[in-house]
């Protein structure tokens, strides 16, 4: 077992010979108007998630955990699960709104999932290795997976804190032309570690620059080169005990309305950094991020992937070989 220095929770035993990919695919996709996780964007009918799993396997990840909604299971297994099962060890986790600690109840009227922190927490029984947690509907680029695999391989927590990592993107490369987006805006230390992170829920490009608002009325400028996280996090299994303890606290002492509030990974990571319990290495990514936040984003993603296929980065039919 590891040290409990600086108030850290005792560390679990970790299989450092393997790497796990945890894919958060339970989002409702309300702004998109459908199950965007299974929308085809590649020339062979591939989804964004196909490219993430393909890149992860190429980079050396050998286990995959899909976090999905139970009502999505049949379509998800048919569209991607069975394909991946032929190439890696696969587990499925269901994100259920009712999955709260003993003694707590879901508030009447709550329908929204509890958020990314809750999703990752629910995967704890399926993960025993250093792991990468990411969104199902974001295209991160091959370089991000290679950098994260290199960081996580053999990684263990040490006396200086939990050893985590994140891919860092420039804000200007992560926006939609069709509406506002949510981004985790980060501050970096001189030696390349995360100093702080703030989840900004409404960021949009305007003719005079990128702005964000917290109330829908007052908009503040953000620098184009602001460093952001796109929910591409590298963790050791020590994160699960922290998520469990902090989710209880989230329910006991809500900072907002529990009918709508979300328990988010960036907020947990930011708290651990501020408390000096974790050191989060920022892995700079030069690859361009693509995402389908709105239906109008899809043609841009299709075009970008087609260019990568033409350049030989991906085969025309991803899983044919």
Is 2 within the bounds of a domain?
no
Is 315 within the bounds of a domain?
no
Q: Which domain holds residue 244?
A: 17-310
- Give the span between the Cα atoms of 198 and 167, in whole angstroms: 15
**Enclosing H/E stretch for 199:** strand 194-206
* Encoded tokens for 13: 């035993």
Is 10 within the bounds of a domain?
no
**Which pLDDT tens digit goes with each residue over 70-116?**
888 888 888 889 999 999 999 999 999 999 999 999 999 998 889 99
- Give the span between the Cα atoms of 147 and 167, in whole angstroms: 8
Expressed in percent and rounded to 5, the helix, strand and coil fractions of the chain are 30, 25, 40
- Average pLDDT (169-176) is 90
CA distances from 114 to 110, 146, 184 (A): 9, 30, 17
Count of domains observed in the chain: 1
Is 226 within the bounds of a domain?
yes
Q: What CATH number did the domain enclosing 74 receive?
A: 3.90.550.10
Question: Is the pLDDT confidence value at 210 over 90?
Answer: yes
Is 6 within the bounds of a domain?
no
**Which pLDDT tens digit goes with each residue over 306-321?**
999 999 999 999 998 6
pTM of the prediction? 0.89
Instruction: For residue 79, list its beta bridge partners.
Output: none
Q: 120-132 in b/e burial notation, b at 16+ Cβ within 10 A?
A: bbbbbebbebbbb
The confidence score (pLDDT) of residue 231 equals 93
Mean pLDDT of the chain: 89
Is 319 within the bounds of a domain?
no
């Amino acid at each position: 077992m590891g040290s409990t220095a600086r108030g850290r929770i005792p560390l679990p035993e970790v299989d450092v010979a393997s790497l796990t990919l945890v894919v958060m695919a339970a989002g409702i996709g309300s702004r998109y108007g459908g199950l965007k996780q299974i929308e085809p964007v590649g020339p062979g009918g591939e989804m964004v998630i196909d490219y993430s799993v393909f890149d992860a396997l190429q980079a050396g990840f050998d286990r995959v955990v899909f976090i999905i909604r139970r009502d999505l299971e049949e379509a998800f297994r048919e569209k991607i699960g069975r394909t991946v099962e032929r190439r890696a060890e696969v587990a499925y986790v269901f994100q259920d709104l009712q999955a709260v600690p003993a003694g707590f109840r879901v508030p009447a009227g709550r329908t929204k999932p509890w958020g990314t922190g809750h999703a990752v927490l629910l995967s704890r029984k399926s993960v025993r290795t250093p792991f990468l947690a990411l969104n199902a509907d974001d295209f991160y680029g091959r370089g991000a997976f290679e950098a994260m695999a290199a960081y996580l391989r053999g990684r263990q927590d040490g006396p200086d804190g939990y050893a985590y990592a994140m891919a860092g993107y420039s804000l200007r490369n992560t926006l939609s032309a069709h509406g506002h987006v949510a981004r985790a805006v980060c501050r970096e230390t001189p030696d390349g570690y995360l100093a702080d992170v703030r989840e900004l829920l409404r960021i949009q490009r305007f003719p005079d620059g990128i702005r964000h608002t917290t109330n829908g009325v007052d908009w503040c400028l953000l620098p184009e080169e602001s460093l952001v996280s796109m929910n591409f996090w590298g963790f050791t299994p020590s994160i699960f005990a922290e998520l469990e303890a902090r989710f209880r606290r989230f329910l006991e002492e809500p900072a907002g309305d529990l009918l709508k509030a979300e328990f988010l990974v960036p907020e947990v990571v930011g708290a651990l950094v501020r408390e000096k319990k974790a050191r989060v290495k920022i892995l700079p990514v030069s690859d361009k991020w693509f995402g389908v936040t709105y239906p109008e984003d899809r043609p841009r993603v299709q075009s970008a992937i087609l260019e990568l296929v033409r350049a030989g980065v991906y085969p025309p039919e991803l899983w044919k070989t």
